[in-house]
Amino acid sequence: MSNVTTQSLLEMKQKGERIVALTCYDTLFARLLDASGIDILLVGDSVNQVLGGAPSTLSATLEQMIYHTRIVRRGVERAMVVCDMPFLTYQVTPDDAVLNCGRVMKETACHAIKLEGGQLMAPTVRRLVDVGIPVMGHIGLTPQSVHALGGYRVQGREDAAAERLKADAKALEDAGAFAIVLELIPAPLASQISKSLTIPTIGIGAGPACDGQVLVLHDMLGLNDQFSAKFVKKYAAMAEDVREAARLFAAEVREGRYPGPEHSFGK
């Protein structure tokens, strides 16, 4: 299979082929997901929530995102690796955005960056694209604005809000974004936006009409069994598998059954 690029994603949309994306934070999972045919590995600023137990994405730093993106990239041969730009690394000025996003591209060898925001961020997106940095947009529920939005709730239910999201999507497309994440918006609205754009939409909690879907890896695998949401489908129950394996290991160590002769070295 050929490598996933911005152009191949556009061709997938044109052909009606669905795009598959998952978050990823390390080399081991990157190898497994890449070998499984996942198209996009998003190194999310959710890393501090998923791996660090933080209450939001706001605490993620540029150094963290560079580290995790670099090690994900090591495990990938085919998939597109996209780095989520953390809070305040691109919102202050377009110059800041170019410097920080350029640093990410140089130091991680990722294929693109993702940033949140619609019409207000369009000039920044255009600036990044003009210097050769591919940009994935993100509208709807934008986690870095969770406090301003009043929590994690569906966006665009009111007519005026829906029209703003449509305008946001069009502004990002016009600015040169190659794809847009639609998070937590009503399915009919996501369908309208997806049909109106020439670039692909990647949905999370946005219904089935988006051109692709993304989930947080640990949610999809059932590793994070303390979190549930209507839009999450758990394709495994790995949290219980981990607990059971750990219990078995502990029991065998305490009973003297591990390590056995087959796990030990002679002279």
Inside any domain, residue 14: yes
In a domain, 83, yes or no: yes
Q: What are phi and psi of 71, to 5 degrees?
A: -75, -30
Among 4, 11, 13, smallest CA distance to 42 is for: 4
CA distances (Å), origin 3, targets 16, 28, 38, 191, 200: 18, 19, 11, 28, 17
Please check whether residue 45 is in contact with residue 67, taking contact to mean a CB–CB distance below 8 angstroms: no
**Domain-located, residue 238:** no
Q: What is the CATH number of the domain that holds 145?
A: 3.20.20.60
What's at 73, amino acid-wise? R
DSSP H or E run through 28: helix 27-35
Say yes or no to pLDDT of 228 above 90.
no
Nearest residue to 169 (alpha-carbon basis) of 143, 136, 147, 146? 136
- In this structure, what token pair is assigned to residue 82? 């996209």
Tokens 């694209």 belong to 129
The domain tally of the chain equals 1
- Rounded average pLDDT over 183-200: 98
| pLDDT at res. 1 | 64
In a domain, 249, yes or no: no
Q: How many helices (H) and strands (E) does the chain have?
A: 11, 8
Note the pLDDT tens digit of each residue in 43-84.
Answer: 999 999 999 999 999 999 999 999 999 999 999 999 999 999
For the cut 90, the answer to whether the pLDDT of residue 218 exceeds it is: yes
Considering the domain boundaries, does residue 153 fall inside one?
A: yes
CA pair distance 193, 257, nearest whole angstrom: 59
CB 28, CB 22: distance < 8 Å: no
Mean pLDDT of 185-197: 98
168: domain range?
6-220
Residue 234 lies in a domain: no
- Which are the catalytic amino acids? 183
DSSP letter at 143 equals G
* 262 domain-assigned: no
Give residue 2's pLDDT band: very low, low, confident or very high (50, 70, 90): confident
| Mean of pLDDT values over 171-177 | 98
Phi, psi for 125 (deg, rounded to 5)? -60, -45
Tell me whether residue 215 is in a domain.
yes
Q: How far is CA 54 from the centre of its chain?
A: 17
